[in-house]
Amino acid sequence: MKDFRKYSLLPHNTFGIDARCSRFLEYESDDEAIAVADVLRRSQQPFIIIGAGSNLLLTQDFDGIVVRSGIKGYHFDGNRMVCGSGETFDDMVAASIRAGYYGMENLSLIPGDVGASAVQNIGAYGVEAKDVIVRVDAVEIATGKTCAIDNASCQYAYRQSRFKQDWKNKYLITRVTYGLSRTFMPHLDYGNIRAELERKGVAEPDAQQLRDVIIDIRNAKLPDPKVMGNAGSFFMNPIVSREQYESLAAQYEGMPHYEVDAARVKIPAGWMIDQCGWKGKSMGRAGVHDKQALVLVNRGGAKGQEIVDLCNAIRKDVKETFDIDIHPEVIII
């Protein structure tokens, strides 16, 4: 078990913010997770649980304990892929395709750890983690006992789960099991997947070709955090009533949208931010990416609060223009 004091979190957040915590614990097995749970129960300090920090914005030092999983390894059990919560999620997508198990292709290149996929219900291009998660193994912090949690109990919704709500800081996730298929059934009707496939001359992609296209699309519009600090999509796409969407669509010809159900429609937050003139703009050292308005970036040396200030200015403009509240997907500490 890794146990460090006065530890810099710079390697653990993709925004590149050099904040520190009082103590940093990383567990690499079930027994170590149980030991960490014991430390958290006994300690009087606050604590937070993080993954790879790809969905995290630090605004100050944290006077408490930061915990993350270092559990590695994966194996297949029938059509199920059991992954250590500390594995890099995209590595597991690649491994599943190599082994001939399908269902996660559209989630390619989403940054972060396996454990975070179960907490955040990550999603992209018409697929969400909830579509493939079968079970989450964890240690209950209050008791130190191991438990297995099924998909239904997690109460997944768009970028939400009970791990972010009433179960926040109650479990240390050790493994996530994904239910996959030996039959490849591609999801192509989202965003510009089909257009990019056609550009490449691919009519009926295999799983690797679909993964490659998803990676190309993401790389074309998302900055490399090693070059420019960011956390990918900063805002969630808002879901509005059909009446509100139709009213806006009458004002904005060609307004993009995605059907949710008969009563609700999802509107891309990035499009609204772009309409408000923010794409490529900056406030001090924080800015909006010039290729994807959904992405806020650290242009060099920005403090977390500078990015929060930019976030708030954008939210204010979107609210005034569209009468829609957009909310950060990123966890702000």
Reported as a pLDDT band with limits 50, 70 and 90, residue 158 is confident
CB 115 within 8 A of CB 82: no
Instruction: Measure the CA–CA gap between 147 and 152, rounded to whole angstroms.
Output: 15
CA-closest candidate to residue 54, choices 203, 194, 226, 252: 226
Reported as a pLDDT band with limits 50, 70 and 90, residue 81 is very high
Average pLDDT, the chain: 95
pLDDT at 191: 80
47-50 vs 62-69, strand pairing mode: parallel
pLDDT at 113: 96
pLDDT for 167-199, tens place per residue?
999 999 999 999 999 999 999 988 889 999 999
Residue 236 CB burial class (10 angstroms; 0-12, 13-18, ≥19): middle
CA max distance for the chain = 60
Residue 44 has pLDDT above 90, yes or no: no
Reported as a pLDDT band with limits 50, 70 and 90, residue 28 is very high
Give the residue ranges of DSSP H helices in 56-203: 89-98, 114-120, 151-154, 193-199
Token reading at 199: 């550009």
pLDDT at 311: 98
Q: Indicate which residues carry an active-site annotation.
A: 159, 233, 329
For 73, phi then psi, to 5°, come to 100, 155
CA-closest candidate to residue 120, choices 156, 66, 172: 156
pLDDT for 206-243, tens place per residue?
999 999 999 999 998 888 888 899 998 999 999 999 99
pLDDT for 110-144, tens place per residue?
999 999 999 999 999 999 999 999 999 999 999 99
Full DSSP string of 316-333: HHHHHHHS----BSSEE-
pTM: 0.88
Mean pLDDT of 44-51: 94
pLDDT for 270-303, tens place per residue?
999 999 999 999 999 999 999 999 999 999 999 9
Sheet containing 146-150: give its strands across. Answer: 74-77, 80-84, 171-179, 133-140, 146-150
Instruction: Measure the CA–CA gap between 63 and 85, rounded to whole angstroms.
Output: 25
pLDDT for 83-119, tens place per residue?
999 999 999 999 999 999 999 999 999 999 999 999 9
What one-character DSSP code corresponds to residue 274? H
